[in-house]
Structure formats: C-alpha cells, structure tokens
C-alpha cells in the first residue's frame, strides 16, 4: 500500500502559523507516510505567485526523500470567465510539473453548488466536458494524469462522476476517489467505492462520524439532512475495514492519501490514522 497524507490535513496549522508546507514535508519524512499530496485548499499562500516557494518545496521533498504524489486545486467551469478558469488550472498544472507530481485533481464546479433540477444537471454535465478535455490534453503533454473527485454536492454523485469520465474520454482523465465524501450526498461508501474504484488514479482515506441529528456546531449537512463530521481513520462510522478490503482486493496500486478533517490535532489524527490504515490493510 502506497500510504501518504494530504497537506489539506494540516490546514488549521497552516492558518495559525504553527506549520508551513515545508514543515509538512518534514513531518511526512519522519512518519509512516510515503508520500504527500499537495492541496491548494487550506494552503494559506498563493503558490502561483511564489515560484521560489515551489523551488523550496521540490528541494525539501528531494532532500527528505518525500514523494509528492497528487496536486489538488479548485475550478468552476460554470463560471462566466471560463477561459480564466482554464488558464488558472493550466498554471497549476505547470506548478505540478515543476514539482514532479504525476497526478492532478481539479474541481469542475464550485464545491457548494447544488443542482436544482434535471435540466440543470444535463446542461452542467454538457458544459463541463470540453474544458475538462482541454485540461487533460494539456496535462498529457506534461506526462500528468488528471482527475475529478467526488467532492462537494454536484459531481459527488458516483453515477455523474463515472459518466464524466466516459464523456471526457481521455486515457489520462480518471477519478480521485474519496471514500468518505459520498456521504455528502448520502451514498453508502460500501456501494459507491467498488463501482467507482475501476476509474481511480488516487484514493483518499477519510472517516466521518454520522448522525441523523445535529449534535452541535461544525457538522456538515448532507443533501438528505444527515450530519457528518471528520474523524480519525478507523474511529468514525464508515465501515473502514470493509472499504479498505475492497480497495486492497481490487488490486489498486496507486497513491492512497489520508485526508484528516477531525477535531484532534492533525498530527495526532494523521499518526493514529496511518497506524490504523496500515494495520487494517494487513488484516484484510
């Protein structure tokens, strides 16, 4: 298992100045993780405006023997400035290439957007295909595989995600498969993961507590008005052993990244999550 972590897990520490991205690389080097995924969400700095930071990240990763595995950024192809959205994603692809990262995930619509009706779904699906193809084609010239993720509330639906892969129809366009995010649209991970796994280039391990009432602040409302909150991998309500078994026995050999969103200190959450994921992988 190629187990690593997402830099998004450190977002709260980046925000309060406790850590920097270079510190995160150092943390990974000293942990059980074998790679680090670079997520622009929660990054806290404008990486496109800081080429010197990119150089520092690559040098530090090389020095510490840390593989940079996947690059994650936002995009919204419903935006009126579609050309600007595409140009920004391509600029991030250039950064990923400079960092030596082989996998790249971009959004296709804004995270919180929810479709109102089927006509809007069909219009949006038709609208996002061409820019996704253009980005995949550009990425192919850099030797990079792109992907969309089951993320937010629109493309999180597993059928829509698989449909997008088929309609984009590019050999280097796949899925970043987050085992927990299906809960945002009330799909069972144990059903959606095996259906989507054949399309995956990268897998995110994530755990959630799940409630049918709102226990307090900080819980995300799903489409069906259930409530979820981040947990340490193996501590939450996702059937983690079953899901990891599905991934393992399918023969998936790409990067697997823990994305921690819980209340605990991220370093503790990741340390325990890495141990749990490794133990479960060996047991299944």
- Residue 116: its pLDDT value, please? 77
Dist CA 207 CA 123 (whole Å): 33
In a domain, 106, yes or no: yes
In a domain, 281, yes or no: no
Is residue 179 over pLDDT 90? yes
Say how far apart CA 246 and CA 250 lie, in whole Å: 6
Q: Which domain holds residue 76?
A: 2-275
- How many H helices and E strands in the chain? 9, 11
Count of structural domains, the chain: 1
The percentage of residues in the chain with a pLDDT greater than 70, rounded to a whole number, is 100
For position 196, what pLDDT does the model report?
Answer: 98
Give pLDDT tens digits for 58-103: 999 999 999 999 999 999 999 999 999 999 999 999 999 999 999 9
CATH number at residue 264: 3.20.20.150
pLDDT classification of 153: cutoffs 50, 70, 90 = very high
User: What DSSP assignment string belongs to 5-34?
Assistant: EEGGGGHHHHHTTS--HHHHHHHHHTSS--
**Residue 283: inside a domain:** no
Q: In this predicted structure, what is the pLDDT of residue 115?
A: 86
Let me know if residue 282 belongs to a domain.
no
Asked if residue 113 lies in contact with residue 160, where contact means CB atoms within 8 angstroms, the answer is no
pTM of the complete model: 0.97
pLDDT for the residue 163:
97
As a whole number, the mean pLDDT across the chain is 97
User: 3-class SS at 214?
Assistant: coil
| Domain presence at residue 245 | yes
The answer as to whether 151 is a domain residue is yes
What are the pLDDT digits (tens) for 184-240? 999 999 999 999 999 999 999 999 999 999 999 999 999 999 999 999 999 999 999
Residue 44 in this model has a pLDDT that exceeds 90: no
Per-residue pLDDT, 260: 98
What is the maximum alpha-carbon separation in the chain? Answer: 52
Distance (Å, whole) CA 1 – CA 197 = 15
61 occurs within a structural domain: yes
In a domain, 255, yes or no: yes
Where residue 17 falls among pLDDT bands split at 50, 70, 90? very high
């Amino acid at each position: 298992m190629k187990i690593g972590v997402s830099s998004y897990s450190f977002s709260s520490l980046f925000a309060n100045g406790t850590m920097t991205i270079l510190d995160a690389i150092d943390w990974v080097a000293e942990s059980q993780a074998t790679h680090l995924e670079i997520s622009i969400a929660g990054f806290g700095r404008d990486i496109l405006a800081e080429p010197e930071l990119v150089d520092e990240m690559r040098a530090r990763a090389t020095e510490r023997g840390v593989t940079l595995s996947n690059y994650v950024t936002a995009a919204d192809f419903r935006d009126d400035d579609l050309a600007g959205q595409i140009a920004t994603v391509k600029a991030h692809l250039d950064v990923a290439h400079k960092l030596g990262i082989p996998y790249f995930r971009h959004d296709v619509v804004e995270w919180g957007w929810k479709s109102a009706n089927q006509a809007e779904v069909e219009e949006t699906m038709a609208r996002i295909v061409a820019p996704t193809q253009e980005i995949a084609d550009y990425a192919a010239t850099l030797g990079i595989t792109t992907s969309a993720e089951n993320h937010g509330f629109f493309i999180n639906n597993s059928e829509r995600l698989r449909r997008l892969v088929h309609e984009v129809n590019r050999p280097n366009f796949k899925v970043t498969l987050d085992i927990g995010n299906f809960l945002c649209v009330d799909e069972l991970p144990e059903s959606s993961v095996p259906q989507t796994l054949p399309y995956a280039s990268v897998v995110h391990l994530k755990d959630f507590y799940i409630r049918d009432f709102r226990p307090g602040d900080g819980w995300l409302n799903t489409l069906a008005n259930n409530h979820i909150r981040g947990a340490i991998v193996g501590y939450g309500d996702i059937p983690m052993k079953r899901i990891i078994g599905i991934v393992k026995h399918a023969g998936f050999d790409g990067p697997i990244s823990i994305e921690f969103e819980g209340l605990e200190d991220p370093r503790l959450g990741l340390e325990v999550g890495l141990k749990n994921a490794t133990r479960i992988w060996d047991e299944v």
